[in-house]
Structures are given as structure tokens and as C-alpha cells.
Amino acid sequence: MSWLQIARLGLVQACIGAVVVLMTATMNRVMVVELALPASVPGTLVALHFAVQLYLRPRLGHGSDTAAARTPWIIGGMLVLALGGIGVAASVALMATQPWLGVALSAIAFVVLGAGVSAAGTPLLALISEHAKPSQRAGAAAMTWILMIVGFIITTAFTGSLLDPFSFERLFMITVGVGAIALCITTLTLFRLEPSLGARVTPVPLVASDRSTAFRDAVRQVWSEPVARSFTIFVFVAMLAYSAQDLILEPFGGIAFGLSAGETTKLAGMQHGGVLIGMILTAIIGARFGSLRIWAAGGCAASAATFVALVMSPMIASVEVYRGIVFLLGLSNGVFAIGAIGSMMALTGDAKDGRAGLRLGVFGAAQAVAYGLGVSLGGIGVDVAQAALGSPLRGYAAVFSVEAVLFSISAVLAYHSASADRAGEVVRTRGEFVSAVVNN
């Protein structure tokens, strides 16, 4: 693949992120602050869209493996994603007058949203993993996710400016516009791209009586690989630590520092800006010094430290300090992300068994489960801790403290995983040396 082709695929990832960020950042803020709903409500709804990905990511990834092309899957998934986002915006507006009906319709819309993310995102990553050269994988991962973060930044900054003064009609129209733009850009970007990449590896067929059995057998084959299992454990713990803050960081800014909806949306853009810088620095420096998993471990450790700082931020009572901490949290997350994503691309691309979609679907399913649990437990945790401790701020501090512990654990897992990889490389190198001596 050329870097221009990788950038085009990364632009599609940016479109996916543009729709999703409205759901995970702005919509939950509106439910908690403007509608005064418990934080567990948006937490559960967003968790639902991740829960359906547990099955849909591997299944749709496997489906795209056996299809003639992945492009129709990606475009169709983007259409479903946009419709799901519009459904969420409409249902949130309905919550203002009919809360229970609005929540019920929102649950359906979030399921549609999860289906769209699975159908568009998994085949897209499979396309990159299959055609990128080994030397391009870290850079491809960085470029793809950097463009996604750019989509986050542009969307949050743009919508943050348009949302003030806030109204549900304004929120709905913004969501429709973002979805339509994302679908148009995706269609234009993918035009004639996949045929220019050449033939891809097709999966070796498994003996099975029907498609469902073939899918289950393929999943068992991928899961039987020790490397795939160990990597999945690390991703699960790290994403659980990361996702718990996703729905509570903006409401925390509104409650602790009195920030408006537009200000907290812009704050999310600042966090994603930190992620962007962290990714760029790691992509440049990480390729020359240390392994990608060591950088992932460092990013997890730094994230743990920033969560401790978040716990202490209300004591300082400075909005500027709070914004700086949020930026540093994004920076740390960016370092962790490139280390983890680069490793995932390598594990997928090196297999060369024609199951890139399924393999990424399995990793994505683990990520989705962790993310779904994280966002749900984050919101529920705030409510429970607030009731037990008698203070909203203490409730948020309790959840941030748990996230610091989980990130510390994931840092240890990543470090030991990287150490094991280096040990394996040494053993393989010695074995190759001995074999060469014997054969010669």
C-alpha cells in the first residue's frame, strides 16, 4: 500500500469516529446535565452498543473475509452507523417529555449504532492489515488512529460551537449533518480503492456442515493461539481502565467546575488533541527505541498518574489546571494506543491465513466487552459511590481511583508481555544460529 492509500482508509476511520464521538461524549453529557438523568442511564445505553459488538465484530469480520470485496461492507456499515446516530439524537430529545419511551427507543438506536461500527470498522482494519507492509504497520496504525482523533477534534470543536445556546432541535440537526457528511466522504474515499490494492489472501476453508459451524470453528482456531489469548487479556484490562472515564469526564467538568455543555464538549476536543500528540510522538520515537508494548506499558502508567491528579483537581479549584490534566490524560492514552494498536496490526498481518477480518473481530470483541463494561460500570460506579459517600465529587473521585489501579495493572501486563516477546526473539535468534552452524 502507498501512504496515500493508507491515509484514505484512515479518513474513513475518521468518519466513523466523528459519528461515535457525538454518542459517547455529547449525548451522555446532555442526559446527565440537561436532562438530570442518573449517570448509569447513558452508561448502560453506550454499553449496549458495545455489547452487540461481542458477536457482530467477529461475525461480520468473518463475513467480509469470505466476500469478494470489503468495500460494500464498509459503506453499508457507515450507512447503518449514521442512521443509528440520528436515532439516538431523536430519542434523547424525546426523553425531555417522555423519559421511558425515549430511553427505550434510545436502546434500539444504540444497538443499530453498534451494528454499524462492527460492519464498517472491522473490515476496514482488516483491509489495512492485509495490504500494509510489515514496515508500514506501526505507521499505518498511527496514521489511521491519528486521522480518527482528528475527526474527534473537528467534530467536538464544530459541534461545541454550534450547540450554544443549547436546544434539542439544534442537537438533532447537527447529528444529521455529521452522519450525512461521514457517509458521503466514506463513499468518495473508497471509490476504486480496493481493486487497486490487488488480490488478497482468502481463508483456508474449514470442514463444516454449514456457515454457522464454519464460523465457530474459525473462532476456535484463532482463540487457540497463545499469543492471541495473551494479547487479548492485556487489551481487555487496559480498555476497561480507559473506558470507565469516557462518559463521566464531561459531567465531572460540569459538576466540579461549572462548565457549560459547549465548554465540556470543547474540553473533549482538548483531550483528543492530547491523544493526537501522544500518537504522533510514539509513532516517531517508538519505532526507533524500545518495543511497542513497552510504550504501551508507559502510556498505561502515565494514565494511572493522571487519574490520581483528576481525583485531586477539585481541591485545587482551577479550571486551567483541570484542563491541563485532561490534556495530559489524552497524551498518555495516545502513547498507550499506538503501542497496543501497532502490536495488534502485527499479530493480524503476520498470520497470512486469510482471516484478518475474523482475527481483528476477535480482538475487537474483547475490546468492545471491556469498553461496554467500563462505560456501564463507570456510570453506575459514580451513582453508587455518590450514594455511599454522600457527595457527587467523592463519587467521581472513587471511580477515577479505580481507573488508576486498573491502568497500573495493565502497565504491568504490557511490560511482562513485552519482556516475554523479547525473550522469545532471543530464543528464536539463538535457535536460528545453532541451526545455521549445524547445517553448515
Give the domain CATH number at 111.
Answer: 1.20.1250.20
Tell me how many domains the chain contains.
1
Q: Given this model, what pLDDT does residue 349 score?
A: 64
If one compares 235 and 198, the residue with the highest pLDDT of the two is 235
pLDDT digits (tens, 9 = 90+) for 275-300: 888 988 888 887 677 677 788 889 99
pLDDT digits (tens, 9 = 90+) for 376-401: 788 788 888 888 888 888 888 899 99
- Looking at the chain, the whole-number percentage of residues with pLDDT higher than 70 is 87
Q: Is residue 149 part of a domain?
A: yes
What is the residue type of 282?
A: T
Mean pLDDT, residues 89-103: 91
> What pTM value is reported for the model?
0.73
Q: Given this model, what pLDDT does residue 353 score?
A: 62
Q: Is residue 144 part of a domain?
A: yes
Q: Is residue 439 part of a domain?
A: no
Q: Is residue 440 part of a domain?
A: no
CA dist list (Å): 59 to 66, 75, 110, 215, 327: 11, 17, 19, 7, 36
- Looking at the chain, the whole-number percentage of residues with pLDDT higher than 90 is 24
- CB 148 within 8 Å of CB 36: no
Q: Is residue 207 part of a domain?
A: no
For residue 303, pLDDT over 80 is answered with: yes
For cell 449517570, name the residue: 39
pLDDT category at 210 given cuts 50, 70, 90 is: low
Mean pLDDT, residues 321-343: 88
Q: Is residue 208 part of a domain?
A: no
Q: Is residue 272 part of a domain?
A: yes
SS3 letters for 116-175?
HHHHHHHHHHHHHHHHCCHHHHHHHHHHHHHHHHHHHHHHHHHHHHHHCCCCHHHHHHHH
Q: Is residue 199 part of a domain?
A: no
Q: Given this model, what pLDDT does residue 427 score?
A: 36
If one compares 333 and 371, the residue with the highest pLDDT of the two is 333
Domain span at residue 419 reads 3-191+213-433
